[in-house]
Chain A
Amino acid sequence: MAARLAFDRVACLRGDRLLFEGLSFALEPGAAALLTGPNGAGKSSLMRIAAGLLPASAGTVERDGGTAFTGETAALDPRLPLADALGFWARIDGGSSEDVARALDRMAIANLALVPVRMLSTGQRKRAALARVIAGRAGLWLLDEPGNGLDTASIDRLAAAMAAHRAAGGIVVVATHQPLALPGAVEIPLGARR
């Protein structure tokens, strides 16, 4: 898996507020980064810049190897059964229903495969969104607050999935307030300058 993410002197301006500037880092296959900082420090904005959803106000972002992103929203059709909703993204990513079954198994929600997404609880929906990331074949995982709403067993499963992804040469970038097992991760503190 060839993945790469490099920020070169990136700045982020939201409205007339400068969230950060001169941010540079490079992540090679197997690496991980942990974004930390208080609310409003620009963690989600940095995630969206890394995902290509927001243009950087200055500097350049290099991305390689496909990107998987999960934020506040699960992006799953509420009326569809979970397996079908995930299957849609798997087909777009060029995968199959086996990828979905494997990802459901990894997040321990295989028993919910036939349940419509709107019936899922917050934590189950979060796990479903993570299963969407796992089922895809992207090298770069961008996870914005992946631990929100997860129970401890699910957090362990998430940590295991991230470790497996890095072992296969993938990159993981996580923004979180919760302690997450991410050994050897580069810490990127935001909002420290003020």
Chain B
Amino acid sequence: MSPWGTIILRDVRLAYQGGGALLPLIFFLLVATLFPFAVGPDGPLLAKVGGGALWMAALLAALLPVDRLVAPDAESGVLDQYAVRGLSDEGIAAAKIVAHWLGFGPPLMIAALPAAALLKLDGAVLGRLELGLAIGTPALAALGVMTSALTLGLRGAGALAGLVMLPLAVPLLIFGAGALGPDGMGALKLLGAAALLLTALAPFAAGAALRAGRD
């Protein structure tokens, strides 16, 4: 196996072993549970705004693991060891994005099923939500790793991470929630474009941050 495959496998294993992959899921389901309490048990109203609420929950769930994505490897010297072996920082960032998505994207899409039931979303909206999450979660994972690398070594990195990441995720939220309507194909395409752009740029930004943080 190439070093990249080995690195991705390790990161995925650590995410599932440490229970870190579970935390965003529980948070996502918790929001879906709390939302009807706040808005009231009015079925049609929940069905109307529930999809957007789930996108918000997905965005905030993506923020939760940000402070644990890169920092442990920086502290334990693993990143230095990668660099000594001549593995590129961009490659490491890309591997971390893939690994993070594997521990975050699919579980979130599965959790969206019970969450949709809690918010009385109908089948068609659920289908469009799942499609949107499939397109959008890689970009959320990429943003998470990028933010984690950018805030590496800063005090209060967790609080800062939200300020860095959430504005960049606004296009995903707009087009993701926009794609929930019956005429959402256009928004879905724009969601794809925004996700592609973020996912393509993030490894370079994160790689540059890792390089700058090494001293």
Contacts and interface: CB of A to CB of B under 8 A. Distances in A.
A93 B78 contact: no
A74 B76 contact: yes
Given A72-B77, A73-B76, A75-B78, A53 B83 contact: yes
A52 B155 CA distance: 27
B3 interface: yes
B12 to A, nearest CB: 13
B215 A93 contact: no
Contacts of B84: 51-53, 67-69
A150 to B, nearest CB: 18
Contact of B14 (A54, A72, A77): A77
DSSP majority for the A interface? loop
Interface string A28-72: 000000000000000000000001111000000000001111011
Task: Using C-beta atoms within 8 Å of the partner chain, give the interface range for chain B.
Answer: 20 to 34
Contacts of A71: 77, 80
A73 B75 CA distance: 8
A83 interface: no
B74 to A, nearest CB: 10
Contact of B83 (A52, A74, A77): A52
Interface stretch (A3-11, A84-92, A152-160): A84-92
Interface centre among B3, B85, B87 (most CB of A within 10 A): B85
A39 to B, nearest CB: 19
B80 A92 contact: no
Nearest to B78: A75
A59 to B, nearest CB: 18
A171 interface: no
Nearest to A72: B77
B7 A92 contact: yes
8 contacts: A52-B86, A53-B84, A69-B84, A73-B77, A73-B80, A77-B14, A91-B1, A91-B6
Interface of A: 51-54, 66-69, 71-79, 88-89, 91-93
